[in-house]
Structure 1
Amino acid sequence: MEEHAVLLNNLNSLQWFNREKLEYYAQAIHNKGAPMNNCWGFIDGTARKICRPSENQEEYYSGHKRYHCIKFQSIICPDGIIVSLKGAYPGRRHDARIFRESGISEELVQKTCFDTDDLFYLVIKDMG
């Protein structure tokens, strides 16, 4: 399993993920009613419950969720394919901090197909 972890930890390793695919995804989202025509995916944070740890309890306790957990951040395409999965992070961390620490923003900029001559492709983060 670890040999394939790079496939979900680095967008630059995805050869099939190119401008044509972004256009396809953006069109699919737009066809479903999104007002923009350049959104190709969605960033989502997930908290998974864990047993109360014997050490560093406060690091893993999410005051928002009111339980101990670890968090993951993913980018999902409209067809359900997960193109990035980052984590695990302590449950106390806010989603915005996880986004900064994950480095996904830099990976998106490095991936040349995200900034084209006529259109900048983007992902949308849920606000819940």
Structure 2
Amino acid sequence: MSITAAALTPVPAAEQDEALYLYTVGEKTKALKALRKDSDLPLAYAPAALELLLAGALPKTVEEAGRILSGRAPALHEALITKLRSGERLDALRILRKATGVGIVTAKRLIEHLLAPPQPSPPSQ
């Protein structure tokens, strides 16, 4: 299954809310602009990102994008991890950008996320 920048580019919650509102009042073009306002979302992927937003599947954070990457593109995720383990960070960045079309900022943030040690789960109550 291929994965694109639309599914991997985090769009902050406020911009998602604004885009959803604009779409519901018939302002699709403004909704697309709102999605791109404070994100690295490439213009070509904005319509697909809007569809993901309407389906409730657009990431708000890099952590959510990382989970989407590992869940929907496990082979790509593993290839990136392999490159990172061997110290080839720049190659991992290039592979991610070429395979998905993500912008440089998103690619850098995702690579940094993959490099970060796993965070412990919060205690259950």
Establish whether TM, by shorter chain, passes 0.5: no
TM-score (norm 1): 0.31
Higher strand share: 1
TM-score by length of 2: 0.31
- Structure with higher RCO (Cα < 8 A, 6+ apart): 2
